Amino acid sequence: MSARSALAATRSAAASGWSRRASPRRSSSASRARAASTSAPSPSPRRRSRSSPIQKTDAEWQAQLDPDRYEVLRCAATEPPFSGELNYVHEDGKFLCGACGAELFRTDAKFDSGSGWPSFFQPVSAEAIEEEVDESHGMRRIEVRCAACDSHLGHVFPDGPHPTGQRYCINSLALDFEPDE
């Protein structure tokens, strides 16, 4: 039996309901391939109902973004601390959304929090970002997202410096830096 016809047989078995029973044999390459292709991607993109000005399908985001940026921006992954290039940017300029290019932060609100992630005490404007309660991973945090495209940026904590007392803890992968001219 060819791989293709094996797969077709598996599909018709699934359609008949036969595959509800656990199959004791997972030895053919077709069934291995099928198992791999149907396993859920991790992490998976979140389905959101809220509308934002920029609407793209998950497939479009995946095609546009590098895989590591896609995982942060569209699947709310967190990059490892001290891994991001933008941790170490101190020159004047603006930090743009890595997904849509909207201006989100400026260097004059950036500070060294010691956390390993780019940290800001305020966004460029209150309208540039959206904040929402995030109760994933057994914690209660405030998630920060781009208001223009609804991409995940990071979290905000109430332990920042003067004058706002806020610490916007943002993934470097979620941002692009554009130095002032």
Site residues for Zn ion per CB under 5 A: 97, 99-100, 102, 146, 148-149, 151
Nearer to Zn ion, 97 or 173 (CB): 97
Residue 146 parent element (H or E): strand 141-146
Q: Active-site residue 75, yes or no?
A: no
**Count of CB atoms within 10 A of residue 70's CB?**
21
Nearer to Zn ion, 28 or 52 (CB): 52
Nearer to Zn ion, 76 or 148 (CB): 148
- Shortest distance, position 101 Cβ to Zn ion, whole Å: 7
The rounded distance, in Å, linking the Cα atoms of 105 and 96 is 7
Residues 6+ apart with CB under 8 A from 25: 31
Q: List, in sequence order, the alpha helices (H) in 17-121.
A: 29-38, 58-64, 67-75
- Taking a C-beta distance cutoff of 8 angstroms, is the pair 176, 95 a contact? yes
The rounded distance, in Å, linking the Cα atoms of 143 and 155 is 4
Strands of 93-97's sheet, edge to edge? 103-106, 93-97, 175-179
Nearer to Zn ion, 39 or 57 (CB): 57
- Shortest distance, position 145 Cβ to Zn ion, whole Å: 8
- Shortest distance, position 100 Cβ to Zn ion, whole Å: 3
- Shortest distance, position 22 Cβ to Zn ion, whole Å: 44
Catalytic residues: 169
